[in-house]
Structure 1
């Protein structure tokens, strides 16, 4: 939980810093400034720029996680523990950005938290779980000298059931913090975007989650759930309560973005 808390507190801060550096053209060096004004990228150039920003951001967060011990109660605390006691915990991470200039939904994920888009009632995956037995993930692990051992499912070195994470230093370089990214052009028929942790997706299908989001967006602010009037808030509250009811045994976090009204709730 320490690494997850640190990601919650620091991820958006570090990402903003990296974006400001990009806009100031400090580390891009590609001539994207003209007459003192930042010129937005287009197409493939835009995607590559965002990939560099997110890769740098996740790497920085991973470095911060390496200084957290399993007993630390303060986010980002640098304690007096021995070096081999640091960086033993980890976290899954998924981040989404809705850009104005490109009207694009950008998703970066590391691990098995997931982003799903509801489009006219259909569930569209915007991220893909990083499991050790996934073809390219297994090839990368083995190229680093690691092993994928099948013990109650595929596990890196027989220990961890995911192949990417923030933290978990004891399994590096087999475990990497580099995010995988998707870019989706925003369309009018998109209803909502749902981001949730693996404890939610373990028991709730993408289709069920999107149906809840779809119904709430249709009912809009008239649907009040436990005093929450916004449709995104109503959906988030309901979804977080559905997962424990289906016997989820893992951490449950849900964010719903109402794409019809630009509301976000956690």
Structure 2
């Protein structure tokens, strides 16, 4: 077993003469350093904590493509934050230990000037009954990126807080609903207190009430997958080669959502598709203060028992789902995870682990490229989690 940590090498670092042109010398490079570990040793809680800290130092939780505002969205250098940069500007997940489910992440601007998506990955973010819980989420902002970024920064902490409050075997639904409600209040409060002119949405509106974000959150336990969804991002489980949706898009023309909006005194107007008051193409979101009470932040929560037949879990923004069906996405991911799109793997155990991570990254990258090839008009963010148990 080997853990890999990546450090960012500044542009000012000297490079050997004659190795690259002056233009190439300005490109950012990554220095990979191997950290020794003892094979065959069961990690104690202290070791697990160190691995968590080391992982979080390399991968705080959000990935963005190098577009107009990707560095702003990532809160610093994108390459520094994610650890590894793939081809074509895709930012991919780093290699991780066996204590974390294998996963891959890719996020691209697509044909838009600004990146309004955010992705959060927080392994070992919480414990329940001595079991480690893992947090994966995709946030798709609209109007601006700041609500999605606030969700990236805070929602996992709010979920952790609510889970620590709840009693053993308490209602997951209540904990997730309370977390989303607190996140919505924080996003609205922050928008009302933001210093004028510090956010690009200030150029379009005197306040930030017209900004919001979807949120699809998946929490993995050893035996369950808990998904909380608010908006039209989506979670899909690939089980035995078949697509099993774990969330239901909350669109204004969905019969139950349409009735709820009308009962609250709102209207759904068809303007380039069904929209709440002719504006928003989803019926639930975090933020969007000016559309309350018609647009609510209450998530729909599903709890799914894990099965040995589970292949992978896909979380993605609607930039993927607008042009790629659930079945197609699962088929692509399954092919990648079976190694049919990669060179044959080395029989060495260590290399096999690395390849498992790479296959997940290949799957997420291929899905984003498929969405772009099908001319999606939105940002595309994809998380692929390998659910196969290590043998």
With the shorter chain as reference, the TM-score category is 0.7 to 0.9
The 5-angstrom pairing of residues 6-21 of structure 1 reads: 6-21=150-165
Paired position in structure 1 for 2:338: 218
CA contact (8 A) 1:108 1:179 kept: yes
CA contact (8 A) 1:67 1:87 kept: no
Could you list the structure 1 runs, at least 4 aligned residues long, displaced by more than 4 angstroms after superposition.
80-84, 220-224
Paired position in structure 2 for 1:59: 181
Q: CA deviation at 1:149?
A: 1.3
The 5-angstrom pairing of residues 181-260 of structure 1 reads: 181-219=301-339, 229=355, 230=357, 231-260=359-388
Q: Structure 1 223/16 Cα, relative in aligned 2: closer, same or farther at 3 Å?
A: farther
Tell which structure's C-alpha radius of gyration is larger. Answer: 2
**Secondary structure at the counterpart of residue 314 of structure 2:** strand
Q: Structure 1 66/84 Cα, relative in aligned 2: closer, same or farther at 3 Å?
A: farther
Q: Distance in 2 between matches of 1:182 and 1:251?
A: 26
What are structure 1's unaligned runs of at least 5 residues?
A: 24-39, 71-76
Bigger CA drift: 1-10 or 111-120? Answer: 1-10
Aligned length: 229
More strand by share: 2
What are structure 2's unaligned runs of at least 5 residues?
A: 1-144, 345-353
Superposed CA deviations along residues 208-228 of structure 1, whole A, max 9, x for unmatched, are: 11011111222299659xxx8
Q: Structure 1 261/79 Cα, relative in aligned 2: closer, same or farther at 3 Å?
A: farther
**TM-score, normalisation: structure 2:** 0.55
CA contact (8 A) 1:148 1:155 kept: yes
Paired position in structure 2 for 1:79: 195
Q: Structure 1 210/152 Cα, relative in aligned 2: closer, same or farther at 3 Å?
A: same
Superposed CA deviations along residues 118-151 of structure 1, whole A, max 9, x for unmatched, are: 1111111110000111111011111111111122
The 5-angstrom pairing of residues 13-162 of structure 1 reads: 13-23=157-167, 40-41=168-169, 46=170, 49-69=171-191, 78-80=194-196, 85-100=207-222, 103-162=223-282
Superposed CA deviations along residues 70-119 of structure 1, whole A, max 9, x for unmatched, are: 9xxxxxx732589961332011110011123xx11111100000000111
Q: Distance in 2 between matches of 1:69 and 1:220?
A: 47
Q: Structure 1 220/108 Cα, relative in aligned 2: closer, same or farther at 3 Å?
A: farther
Q: Distance in 1 between matches of 2:179 and 2:343?
A: 38
Paired position in structure 1 for 2:147: 3
